[in-house]
Amino acid sequence: MTTTAVSAGLKLGVVGKGGVGKTTVAGLLARSYSDLGRRVVAIDTDSNPNLGLSLGLSLSDTEAVPVLPRAALVGSGGGPSADALVSDYGRPTPAGPTLLSAIRVSEAAAGCTCSGHATVRSLLAEALADVDVTLVDMEAGLEHLSRSGGTLAYADVLLVVCEPTRKSILTAIRTAALAEELGIPHVLAVGNKSRSQQDAEFFASALSAEGIELSGVLPYDHRVAEADRAGSVDLTPVSNQVQAALQDILAAVENTAGAPRE
């Protein structure tokens, strides 16, 4: 992958129904941008974080990534700068991106995670020096869009990952509606775990009926599933089909993020 241009200071949120492949897709995209020579910050907002595994870290190294302070409202009233948070809490990964862990629930009954989401929201509101792409792997569901202010309110593009099921498309439709209310400029769908031409056609027709652009379709890849079972994502080159889908997604993001607000 050598030719795709990348918008400066791009902020992407990866969202969707539980288990559709958000973390897998976020890891592959973050790695693709790094392979293009871009400086990437990948933020894990799952309360049960595992994006580190998708970026080639071991489980113990993933668990050792320090969690961002809760309610560290970047840039406001003496709060830390976004760059200071990245340099203090970010950790390098074998895939290239710098990983931030925003939310981890390690104690029972420790309260809600809203303040961790507030940190991410304020981090996205600031421009990070020397960072080309900030990519957020979001927890499942829609709460991050309804939570006060919306965790991803400052994202340029939401990538809503779908699998070939009606329920995941329904989540995409609800996501697009909430994103519009929040003023997030663009929503693109990513089809994942496609096993057949029918699956690819299902993504295209179900999403276009709702006016949601399909940016690319990743095949169901047994190596992805096997790497997951082995506890880490294999960092050897991905299949040609996966590579082609990633290139499609990067090109669609580039076209979209460069376009005027819809």
The footprint of Mg ion (CB under 5 A) covers 22-23
Contacting ligand ATP within 167-196 (CB under 6 A): 192-193
Give whichever of 11 and 22 is closer to Mg ion, judged by the CB atom.
Answer: 22
- The answer to whether 20 contacts ligand ATP (rule: CB under 6 A) is yes
Pull the structure tokens for residue 113: 């995670």
Radius of gyration of the chain (CA): 17
Contacting ligand ATP within 37-96 (CB under 6 A): 46
Distance CA 30, CA 48 (A): 19
For residue 144, with 0-12 CB atoms within 10 Å meaning exposed, 13-18 middle and 19 or more buried, which class applies?
Answer: buried
Token pair 């995941």 in the structure block, residue = 168
The span of 21-29, 105-113, 117-125, 201-209 binding ligand ATP (CB under 6 A) equals: 21-29
- In residues, how long is the chain? 262
Pull the structure tokens for residue 5: 């241009």
Nearest to 17, CA basis, from 135, 191, 184, 230: 191
Is the distance from CB of 12 to CB of 134 less than 8 angstroms? Answer: yes
The span of 2-10, 35-43, 106-114, 215-223 binding ligand ATP (CB under 6 A) equals: 215-223
Distance CA 22, CA 190 (A): 9
Nearest to 221, CA basis, from 201, 196, 193: 193
- The answer to whether 225 contacts ligand ATP (rule: CB under 6 A) is yes
Residue 228 binds: one of Mg ion, ligand ATP, none (C-beta under 5 to 8 A by kind): ligand ATP
- The answer to whether 248 contacts ligand ATP (rule: CB under 6 A) is no
Q: Taking the complex as a whole, how short is the minimal distance between the CB of residue 47 and ligand ATP, in angstroms?
A: 10
Which residue has its beta carbon closest to ligand ATP? Answer: 228
The span of 14-22, 37-45, 81-89, 177-185 binding ligand ATP (CB under 6 A) equals: 14-22
- The answer to whether 224 contacts ligand ATP (rule: CB under 6 A) is yes
Binding site for ligand ATP (CB under 6 A): 16, 18-24, 46, 140, 192-193, 218, 220-221, 224-225, 228
